[in-house]
Amino acid sequence: MSARTPVTEGPPLVAVPHDDGVDAAVAAARRVIEALLATGDGTALDMGTVTAQLHSVADSLDRAAPERDRRLATMWQGEGVTRHDPVTGPENALAPPLTLHGVDDGSIRGTVTLGLPYQGPPGHVHGGISALLLDHTLGVANHWGGVSGMTAELTLRYLRPTPLFEPLAITARQVSVEGRRIRAVGAISAGGRECVTADGLFIAKHLPRPD
Amino acid sequence: MSARTPVTEGPPLVAVPHDDGVDAAVAAARRVIEALLATGDGTALDMGTVTAQLHSVADSLDRAAPERDRRLATMWQGEGVTRHDPVTGPENALAPPLTLHGVDDGSIRGTVTLGLPYQGPPGHVHGGISALLLDHTLGVANHWGGVSGMTAELTLRYLRPTPLFEPLAITARQVSVEGRRIRAVGAISAGGRECVTADGLFIAKHLPRPD
């Protein structure tokens, strides 16, 4: 995409977190994950109390949760975008979460800033986390392109370290559809420079959703 | 590796969780993550209370946590294996966590069962999560091989869907070192069949650890 071409950012292509219900609890859980990592061992804080509080929350959630097979079915119903995936999912505390928008040139884009839980090399994003974000983003780009599928092959190239604590631009686009073979490419950039690129081959098939 | 060759599994190559301190709190946080996802919206449980409880835990952790730059330095000190990474780290609730062992044939291996937070296609592991696990495992295989570095290129091939809720075997080995160029390969298998393979090129350099 040329930097000189103005683009119009469309509506989000992924589920957007709301400020109440489970999404709000998940946002609080993300704070807990990051704060536990920021604390580390050797703290003066009584970790036995923290542990007991978290088990108590988990116990009350477990008691209220539907049976697993039922939840596996219901989580796939709805508006066609997932609320539970580990990249964009407002219900998944593993997800940063990343919000992706369609752009009128056919590409998609999003911005995310990653903290301590996503660290690989000192002060930088784990290469596998970049792979996770890009695999998912290429999949969403295929949706936006009109034909999506499952990843068959994914190649990541790491051009320079990806920084933590700075806004990262994530872009992707579908580049070809030949029969059932779909190709999409994407990149993670920081400060206008590409850090990681991805090139994916996808096959236009989907696993059945449980019912 | 031939299935006919008996191998001896060595000591763990990654940090092993202990049952108290921050590791125990992180294990409880993993329960919360999974239970939130298992619950979803529409539950009868008062999510406002859950949200407040989690914010309260995060607040007390935040108050006790060292300043970020200091923590970024101290988390890299110690026994040479990380306790904070998102794959094996006992202090990181994003990590399943995966424990990896060295094997006397030069390979490394581990077993992990993944639940709801790691879902991609219905009932199966997210392709990007497989990439995350394999990128990290190849890096540990390079340590075990004697020369490690940073990922330069990683190619994942998805042979069949990787199931959730079943033990997955993760294996890797360093295959060559030529100057600063290191090659390592790995795979995730379920029920004895390979689901995802990885082929990585690494460059023997490391970012400086903060002090």
Q: What are the tens digits of pLDDT across the range B111-153?
A: 999 999 999 999 999 999 999 999 999 999 999 999 999 999 9
Query: What is the tens place of the pLDDT at every residue in A58-112?
Result: 999 999 999 888 898 888 876 567 899 999 999 999 999 999 999 989 999 999 9
What separation in angstroms does the CA of A10 have from each of A85, A101, B22? 22, 6, 43
Strand partners, B197: B157, B187
**Helix count and strand count (H, E) for chain A:** 4, 7
What is the ipTM score, two decimals?
A: 0.95
Nearest to A209 among B50, B122, B132 (CB): B122
Domain locations along chain A? 9-203
Give which of B138, B120, B114, B18 is closest to A158, Cα–Cα: B138
All residues of chain A having their beta carbon less than 8 Å from the beta carbon of residue B126 are: 85-87, 132, 135-136
How many Cβ contacts (< 8 angstroms) between chains A and B? 311
- How does the average pLDDT of chain A come out, rounded? 92
Say if A99 is an interface residue toward chain B (CB within 8 Å). no
A197: closest chain B residue by CA: B153
Sheet strands (E) in chain B: 9-12, 101-103, 107-113, 150-158, 167-178, 181-190, 193-203
- B115 interfaces chain A, CB cutoff of 8 Å: no
Amino acid at B36: L
The reply to whether B173 touches chain A by the CB within 8 Å rule is: no
- Compute the distance between CA of residue A39 and CA of residue B67 in angstroms, rounded to an integer: 9
Statement: B9-203 belongs to CATH 3.20.20.100 = no
pLDDT tens-digit profile of B165-199? Answer: 999 999 999 999 999 999 999 999 999 999 999 99
pTM of the model: 0.95
CB A82 within 8 A of CB A15: yes
